[in-house]
């Protein structure tokens, strides 16, 4: 009985992946996998994968880049944000040191900004999946609303793994 209760409590502490799919992308030649809750409606794009929290407070995308295309992928991500009304405040830029997650080097650049709904957090996460391949993860979250998705976002990022 106690074991059943303990397992039930454990299940309630990790709702981020109660209903989630692990997606390998790009589908024609996968370089990475990521686990995203079904409620975020993950879908494959031309260059990776994207998802939005059910309440639209957080948008995430992960785009594949190689040594020759990383600048274009970053430029495309910034263009996407701009086309969607996100204004980034360059004076708020914060860079994080390189850390290792699942055997891959990761680093982020973060900014504050604004969109039509008010203040937002914006970030680009760079994940080196192999010698020649990387992911550029774009994050866009509404301040005040994004905090309730912290555990999910952390779990999504921690789920990124290289596909060999």
Evaluate whether 65 touches 73 at the Cβ level (below 8 Å).
Answer: yes
Evaluate whether 48 touches 61 at the Cβ level (below 8 Å).
Answer: yes
Q: What is the CATH number of domain 2-162?
A: 3.40.1000.10
DSSP assigned state of 147: G
Mean pLDDT computed over 133-147:
96
Mean pLDDT computed over 54-81:
95
DSSP assigned state of 54: T
Look at residue 164 in the predicted model and tell me its pLDDT.
72
Does the pLDDT at position 84 exceed 90?
yes
Look at residue 14 in the predicted model and tell me its pLDDT.
43
Selection from 83, 90, 71, 81 nearest residue 136 by Cα: 71
Map out the domains of the chain as residue ranges: 2-162
């Amino acid at each position: 009985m106690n074991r059943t209760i303990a397992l039930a409590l454990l299940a309630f502490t990790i709702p981020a992946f109660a209903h989630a799919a692990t997606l390998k992308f790009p589908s024609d030649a996968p370089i990475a996998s990521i686990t995203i809750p079904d409620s975020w409606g993950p879908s494959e794009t031309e260059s990776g994968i994207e998802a939005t929290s059910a309440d639209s407070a957080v948008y995430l995308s992960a785009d594949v880049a190689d040594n020759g295309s990383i600048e274009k992928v970053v430029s495309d991500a910034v263009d996407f944000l701009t086309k969607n009304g996100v204004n980034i405040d360059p004076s708020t830029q914060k860079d994080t040191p390189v850390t290792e997650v699942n055997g891959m080097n990761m680093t982020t650049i973060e900014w504050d900004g604004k969109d039509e709904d008010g203040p937002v957090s914006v970030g680009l996460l760079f994940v080196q999946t192999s010698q020649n391949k990387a992911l550029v993860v774009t994050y866009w979250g509404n301040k005040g609303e994004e905090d309730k998705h912290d555990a999910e976002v952390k779990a999504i990022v921690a789920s990124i793994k290289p596909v060999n």
